[in-house]
Structure 1
Amino acid sequence: MLLKKYGIRTLIAFTHDFIAIGVAWWLAYLFRFNFEIPADSVQLLLEMLPWMVLVQGGFFLWLGLYRGLWRYASLPDLKRIFVAVMSGSLTELLLLWLFGLLAKIPGAVAVLVPLLLMLIMGGSRLIYRAWKERRLYGLESNEAKLVLIIGAGSTAVNLVKALTGSREWHVVGMLDDDPRKLGTRLQGIRVLGRIDELPHWVHTLNVEHVIIATPSVSRQIHRKALEMCSEIDVKAMTVPSYADLISGKSMVTNIREIQLDDLLGRAPVVLDDDGLHGLLTGKVILVTGAGGSIGSELCRQLAAFEPERIVFLELNEFALYSIQEEFLPRFPAMKMSFVIGDVKDRARMTQLFSQFHPAVVFHAAAYKHVPLMEEENAYQALLNNVLGTYVLAQVAISFAVEKFVLISTDKAVNPVSVMGASKRLAEMVCQALQQSIAAKNNQPGWNNQSRPTCFVMVRFGNVLGSTGSVIPKFREQIAKGGPITITHPEMTRYFMSIPEAAQLVLQAGLMGGTNGGGEIFVLDMGDPVKIVDLANDLIHLSGLGEDDIRIVFSGLRPGEKLHEELLSASENTLPTPHQKLRIAQARQVDEQWLSDMTAWLSKISVLSDREVRDQLVNWVPEYDSKEWNGK
């Protein structure tokens, strides 16, 4: 019965401690009387011992000494032993006093018993743990992977502590550039040297794996470590990002391969959670383009704020099916609707808004592929990105949507592509509609019972791994053995991770409207990244070198810039309370411009690519269709 209830290991530990109580009392008497115990003291000891064992053992059970395993014995376990032994010993002395026996117990025995008992119990546990770890790393060392850890900060120390009993990893040393830590031991592991000494220690210790445990350092350090690992042919791993560690999403032991996001080295986004709960919690949220990279990540971020319902609007049937398959099992308690629809279809949009009455709209649906939209599809880019935004925005106004957030792009700044110009036009549509709302609110006698719609535009650069982006293409080319094709050796782009972009879109959506609405928020994209460096990073992440995969330069494609911009020459920015968001002071347009522009789109049936480019200049003066081909 006891075996079934407690388990064999617990019963063995409990039996050991019961025996330890008797041994402690016996040794205390032996030490007190120089190993010649008087007969009367032996008789008293034998009479008391069963009761002492029961009292002391009861405290062991009550204070939970058997909830852990000896192989993981640590300082908290020793503290519990101390409390249990001292509590039991004081209770024993109290009972002896009550029964008039305390005077017969030598004072030295009363002092020695708890000390000896703690020594026996604590020492047994630590000896057992040391034996298990020596056996694990001695007899089973062939199975464990020898690993060096780069970094000796708190994350690295926690990682070493967590891997102490691991059968998969055996930490043989740490490397760090802090001179104060060199030669010291952290959790029993020595800091061997500096990070640039990695090749020496890898060869000296015959290491095949390196774990980079510095989640908050710059991308330069990650890239340096990755390049060294690639050169000496060792596998580079890392711990979860700093944001995931502090949020509790991941544990330090969730070791994984290095990803491009790690090489960006961007600080985690700090969100106004209280404000976002006020904007999103308990409300119906509509996301267009919900099956795309940004749209789907927005939905994942939105789910954390417990909206009443998320409406996933998507034109692509397979994309909508894929996002449905992900979300239904992942968020079973959340109300969700997965709807097919085209944002240009006013009747369908009206039907959806009438059915769901969304309070907030995130408009991520757009044609985004620059070369594809430049030739053969320019007019469709214009209709989808501009007319689609106009139709959706008008319906949103008619149903008194609180916030309408347009996902824009850095390609809308001084655009040289049809896609970029169409997204700038979409920004201008939202600006004009906001001006129209403000003008109506200022008219004498106007009485709008509902809160007017607030338009917010968010402009940012490329996101890593988005659908149709350069990263999946590079990975595919590497998988085929190369070459990697890049348009120009000096081409640069701004990059951020998809989750970071989605978080900042939410934050911008919350902050929009403080200046009357119609703001264009510009995300802090950090420093531009050379595409050729990105390609080399991917080659290293694949465990290859530049000699294994060739890089070929093919020349700029239609609509491409050599360098992207986040602001035009005529634009300045205003700061916001959030360090990663600024407001662009863009050229304003009025209601008359909007009327003329929509009339132009409505009266034409179809335009050729050349006609689209020629006529776009009339509506986006900063658009220059000749720059991309170097003319």
Structure 2
Amino acid sequence: MRQYVLPGFLVLADIFTLIMVAFISLFLRFGELVIDAYFVQVVVCLPFFVISYLLMLAAMHLYTRVWRYAGTREVGAVLFATSAGAVIFFICTLLVNIHLPRSLYFISYIVATGFIGLGRLLLHYVIIHADTEKVAETEQTPVLIVGAGDAGAMIAREIMQFHTRRRNLVGFIDDDPRKQHHIMGGIRILGGRGDIPTMVEKYGIKEIIIAMPSARRAVIRETIEICSPLKCQVNTLPGLYQLLDNEVLIQRLRPVSIEDLLARDVVKLDIQNIEEYITGKTVLISGAGGSIGSEICRQVMYMKPARLILMGHGENSIYLIHQELSQKYGTERIVPIIASVRDPRQLDRIFDKYRPQVVFHAAAHKHVPLMEHQPMAAVLNNIYGTRNIAEAAGGYGAERFVMISTDKAVNPTSVMGATKQVAEKVVHVMNDRYATKYITVRFGNVLGSRGSVVPLFHRQLAAGGPLTVTDPDMTRYFMTILEASQLVLQAGSMGKGGEVFLLEMGEPVKIMDLAKNMIRLSGYEPGVDIPIQITGIRPGEKLYEELLTQAEGTRKTAHEKIFTAQLEEVDETWLHQQIDSFQQCRTEEEVIHVLQRIIPTYHPNHDPE
């Protein structure tokens, strides 16, 4: 029954309003000299006048709309309804042979539009005010939006229309001096980013929304650094590339993360060159369920391959990436395969059946301390597995083979790093044996990848601390999973065969600074609310990582973030003999000795247990 109360009230209000409009219009036209004849004619025409307008108001659903969320569409509906109502009324008077002054039609139309429109606007504000009154002021979160551009304006509009129960928008922040201290959408632009701490204290801000999806990463980073000590909830929008096909909505906001603080500017890709070697081809990705492998899968699917083979040893991880891609692209072109690169016979069957033209080899054991205790497992997966899949790619005529390597392969102190350098050498010598173009891509740590420090810190924060740092001076290079994957695809398009590509990693980051920033982004104070514990360097770890040796040198490429290094030449027969000698190893010490024969620069930072 309640759903009919407001429409019924609006119908009665409109009837009363239209009756008033008819006589007000007559008075406006003739003033005090209202001619009796016209007065009588208006009274006769009154039913036609009221019904004409009511019919069009009903036809435009102006009695069933939710006026709390009224906007420009409702304004347009009122204008159309009153315009059409005026036309219908004019036709009705002609049909019954009543001739009113033409100016009276126009005046009545203007007055009716104004009264009905203002009435709906008043209803909109009465409803909003009533809802706001229900919420105690203390329950509203004072909000500050950083960025008075299109995205900021959309967020502000949505807050004022849909989220006034929980959010009170205090103002904008923008560095453009032409905008500062002006009003946008009824909200004042309070100042620049340097004024954020002052505004937070002055207005008791509890939430800061960074609405600058197209800004340079350096600007985002500076903004986060300003906000992080303020103990406010700091939310941000996805990057611009994620918003191209979507509206800017409150639901798309997410908490600022350490990835935002360390992220660099968006990678500029030569899409045409990447499409040339992927579009319409069969692509196989080993380790497809891993952090890097799964992101490469996503990027490859953008390039429209004929078929994508998701190969991995972990059943659950392959299931998850297959489900994700299938929901978006269907199942016809995506083939999940549970297989291990350690098994050459299984690889032979896979390559014989699908004949992949492009292979991305991302499968590897990568956990440094874990591999220190199980060096043979690292050898079997990282060395033998790489040799197996590289030979299968060459033997079945793949056009390109791209291996993912690591900065830990340079002057290694760990089993993981040493086995990856041997894998690099394996891929390098394959280039002379087969027509396949063999390419290696080497980069540092990837933010958010499995087993990396960022997920570890997240878990430790959730548990209330402490955050564990192995050494106060330990540094690492970081890039995002997305950036690393895109650059891998780009490097694959540039390779002529035999190269080792290095990805530009920016400046190294102290792990101690990373821990402190993550604590601050969570709204706590390092060492006060959440302690940081020094645990000591683990077996196989270095204080800092290197991307190339002195002997390798480096050269620029056509891409600003990709460089090449020249691997030292190695005799293929000797290399395979050394690799085969692992099969005679009975102890961990013997495995280490073989690795040191192959890589003289490998110096373990601890004695084998």
**Partner Cα distance (1:16, 1:598) in 2:** 92
3-state DSSP of counterpart to 1:420: helix
Matched, 1:162 2:158: yes
CA-to-partner distance for each residue in 1:494-534, whole Å, 9 max, x for gaps? 2122233223323333x234xx3334333332332221111
CA drift at 1:123? 1.4
- Matching residue of 2:68: 71
Decide which of 93, 114, 117 is 1:119's aligned counterpart: 114
Q: Is the 8 A contact 2:217 2:265 kept in 1?
A: no
3-state DSSP of counterpart to 2:401: strand
Q: Is the 8 A contact 1:494 1:528 kept in 2?
A: yes
Unaligned runs of 5+ in 1: 438-451
Q: Is the 8 A contact 1:495 1:529 kept in 2?
A: yes
CA-to-partner distance for each residue in 1:94-133, whole Å, 9 max, x for gaps? 77678875xx433542432232122113212222222233
* Aligned AA (2:555): T
CA drift at 1:343? 0.8
CA drift at 1:88? 5.2
Decide which of 287, 293, 304 is 2:285's aligned counterpart: 287
**Partner Cα distance (2:265, 2:420) in 1:** 28
**Partner Cα distance (1:218, 1:528) in 2:** 19
**Partner Cα distance (1:527, 1:111) in 2:** 71
CA-to-partner distance for each residue in 1:407-442, whole Å, 9 max, x for gaps? 1122233434332232233233223222333xxxxx
- Matching residue of 2:509: 529
3-state DSSP of counterpart to 2:505: coil
Does the C-alpha gap of structure 1 residues 329 and 244 become closer, same or farther in structure 2, counting only changes over 3 Å?
closer
* Aligned AA (1:370): V
Decide which of 464, 469, 472 is 1:489's aligned counterpart: 472
* Aligned AA (1:517): G
Q: Is the 8 A contact 1:159 1:253 kept in 2?
A: no
- Matching residue of 1:464: 447
Aligned length: 601
Q: TM-score under structure 2 normalisation?
A: 0.86
3-state DSSP of counterpart to 1:202: helix
CA-to-partner distance for each residue in 1:434-461, whole Å, 9 max, x for gaps? 2333xxxxxxxxxxxxxx5333322221
CA drift at 1:68? 5.5
RMSD of aligned residue pairs (Cα, Å): 3.6
**Partner Cα distance (2:502, 2:136) in 1:** 53
CA drift at 1:187? 1.4
Does the C-alpha gap of structure 1 residues 575 and 346 become closer, same or farther in structure 2, counting only changes over 3 Å?
same
Decide which of 387, 390, 393 is 1:393's aligned counterpart: 390
- Matching residue of 2:569: 589
Q: How does 1:207-356 map to 2 (within 5 A)?
A: 207-217=205-215, 231-248=229-246, 251=249, 253-271=251-269, 279-280=277-278, 283-305=281-303, 307-320=305-318, 323=321, 333-356=331-354
* Aligned AA (1:266): R
Does the C-alpha gap of structure 1 residues 121 and 505 become closer, same or farther in structure 2, counting only changes over 3 Å?
farther
Q: Is the 8 A contact 1:24 1:116 kept in 2?
A: yes
**Partner Cα distance (1:11, 1:512) in 2:** 71
* Aligned AA (2:260): D
3-state DSSP of counterpart to 2:288: coil
CA-to-partner distance for each residue in 1:281-307, whole Å, 9 max, x for gaps? 554432211232212233344444554
- Matching residue of 1:140: 135
**Partner Cα distance (1:433, 1:7) in 2:** 79
CA drift at 1:193? 3.7
**Partner Cα distance (1:537, 1:138) in 2:** 39
- Matching residue of 1:600: 578
**Partner Cα distance (2:301, 2:64) in 1:** 37
Matched, 1:501 2:484: yes
Decide which of 532, 544, 552 is 1:563's aligned counterpart: 544
Does the C-alpha gap of structure 1 residues 527 and 15 become closer, same or farther in structure 2, counting only changes over 3 Å?
farther
Decide which of 152, 157, 162 is 2:148's aligned counterpart: 152
Q: Is the 8 A contact 1:245 1:252 kept in 2?
A: no
CA drift at 1:41? 0.8
Decide which of 416, 421, 439 is 1:419's aligned counterpart: 416
Q: Is the 8 A contact 2:146 2:211 kept in 1?
A: yes
3-state DSSP of counterpart to 2:160: coil
Q: TM-score under structure 1 normalisation?
A: 0.83
CA drift at 1:365? 0.5
CA drift at 1:349? 0.4
**Partner Cα distance (2:284, 2:34) in 1:** 86
- Matching residue of 1:572: 554
**Partner Cα distance (2:315, 2:232) in 1:** 43
Does the C-alpha gap of structure 1 residues 275 and 53 become closer, same or farther in structure 2, counting only changes over 3 Å?
farther
- Matching residue of 2:405: 408
CA drift at 1:464? 1.4
Does the C-alpha gap of structure 1 residues 494 and 28 become closer, same or farther in structure 2, counting only changes over 3 Å?
same
- Matching residue of 2:427: 430
3-state DSSP of counterpart to 2:244: helix
- Matching residue of 1:541: 521
Q: Once the two structures are aligned, what percentage of the paired residues are identical? A: 35
Q: Is the 8 A contact 2:595 2:602 kept in 1?
A: no
3-state DSSP of counterpart to 1:571: coil
**Partner Cα distance (2:438, 2:319) in 1:** 30
3-state DSSP of counterpart to 1:237: strand
Q: Is the 8 A contact 1:137 1:144 kept in 2?
A: no
3-state DSSP of counterpart to 2:422: helix
